[in-house]
């Protein structure tokens, strides 16, 4: 594989005062690769994602990202405007609750087009065409383009949130339980959609979830966290088919029993 490393995380830790959120997290991510992060409640998954999105500054360790074709750079050495620009262009952030990632008083098309306007696109026709293109990519009927997200189902809102993230052609998606809270058939459709888009767009992604079915379907690599620490990390099929750590073994067998 000749592609260059996109994201490098080394010995990352974050402490909430005397509590630690996550510790000693290290991984590499290449374009087109999906890393799944699983673990019980309180394992440190959200803390890790909040550090990766630069919302929290790690207490220790490094997060280095390659913007454009430039060198890998520590994201916390970037200026605030540089980081903001990454968050608007090369990085996408998909929240579990789409309401956290959408503007509810703006139409579906407006939600998608707005992200282009935020990076300087001022051509109304182009913005509307792009919004329509990405809404159709996530299977939103264009007759709903001018409707408010509040009139959409949870699954539709989640798809609009994904379209809003994709419109700037991001290279890295950070997703927090993107299918959480949706019913099983809606989840399955959304997972198929995500799998197709990740592969077609050669996206790198980190996906945090409780659901081993989600990682089995989407993630090439899997990191299992417990109590803020990574207890197992490897190829998804390998970890799920031959778990080494007792916690992963319990996690996998609890799914197989149901």
Ligand X SMILES: Nc1ncnc2c1ncn2[C@@H]1O[C@H](COP(=O)(O)OP(=O)(O)OP(=O)(O)O)[C@@H](O)[C@H]1O
Which position among 34, 35, 45, 91 is part of the footprint of ligand X (CB under 6 A)? 45
User: Per CB under 6 A, does 171 bind ligand X?
Assistant: no
Q: Which is nearer to ligand X, 53 or 107 (CB)?
A: 53
Q: Look at residues 44, 53, 46, 229 and name the one whose alpha carbon lies nearest to residue 63.
A: 53
State how far the Cα of 169 lies from the Cα of 44, in Å rounded to an integer.
29
Nearer to ligand X, 180 or 234 (CB): 180
Q: Single out the segment in contact with ligand X by CB under 6 A; choices: 38-46, 99-107, 180-188, 193-201.
A: 38-46
Confirm if 128 and 113 have CB atoms less than 8 A apart.
yes
Interface residue with ligand X among 6, 7, 21, 221 (CB under 6 A) is 21
Check residue 63 and give left, alpha or beta (phi > 0: left; psi -120 to 50: alpha): beta
For residue 228, the 8-state DSSP code is T
Q: Which of 34, 43, 197, 205 binds ligand X (CB under 6 A)?
A: 43
58 forms part of the interface with ligand X (CB under 6 A): no
- Closest distance to ligand X from the beta carbon of 101 (Å): 16
Q: How many chain residues interact with ligand X (CB under 6 A)?
A: 12
- CA dihedral sign of residues 81, 87, 88, 89: positive
Tell me the H-state helices in 119-173: 124-137, 154-166
Residue closer to ligand X by CB (options 149, 228) is 228
Query: Of 176-235, which residues contact ligand X (CB under 6 A)?
Result: 228
Beta bridge mates, 38:
209, 224
Which positions lie near ligand X, rule CB under 6 A? 16, 19, 21, 39, 41-47, 228
């Amino acid at each position: 594989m000749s592609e260059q490393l996109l994201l490098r995380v080394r010995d990352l830790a974050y402490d909430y005062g005397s509590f630690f959120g996550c510790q000693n997290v290290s991984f590499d991510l290449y374009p087109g690769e999906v890393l799944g992060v699983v673990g019980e409640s309180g394992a440190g998954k959200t803390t890790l994602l909040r550090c990766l999105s630069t919302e929290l500054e790690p207490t220790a360790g490094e997060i280095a990202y390659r913007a454009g074709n430039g060198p890998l750079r520590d994201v916390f050495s970037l200026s605030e405007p540089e980081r903001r620009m990454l968050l608007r262009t090369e990085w996408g952030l998909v929240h579990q609750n789409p309401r956290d990632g959408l503007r509810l008083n703006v139409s579906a098309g407006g939600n998608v087009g707005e992200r282009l306007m935020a990076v300087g696109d001022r051509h109304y026709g182009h913005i509307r065409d792009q919004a329509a293109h990405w809404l159709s990519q996530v299977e939103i009927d264009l007759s709903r383009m001018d409707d408010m997200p509040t009139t959409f189902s949870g699954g539709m809102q989640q798809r609009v949130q994904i379209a809003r993230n994709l419109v700037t052609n991001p290279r890295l998606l950070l997703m927090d339980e993107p299918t959480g809270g949706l019913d099983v058939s809606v989840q399955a459709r959304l997972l198929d959609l995500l799998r197709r888009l990740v592969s077609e767009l050669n996206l790198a992604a980190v996906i945090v979830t409780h659901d081993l079915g989600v990682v089995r379907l989407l993630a090439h690599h899997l990191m299992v966290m417990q109590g803020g620490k990574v207890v197992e990390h490897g190829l998804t099929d390998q970890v799920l088919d031959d778990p080494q750590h007792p916690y992963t073994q319990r996690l996998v067998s609890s799914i197989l029993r149901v």
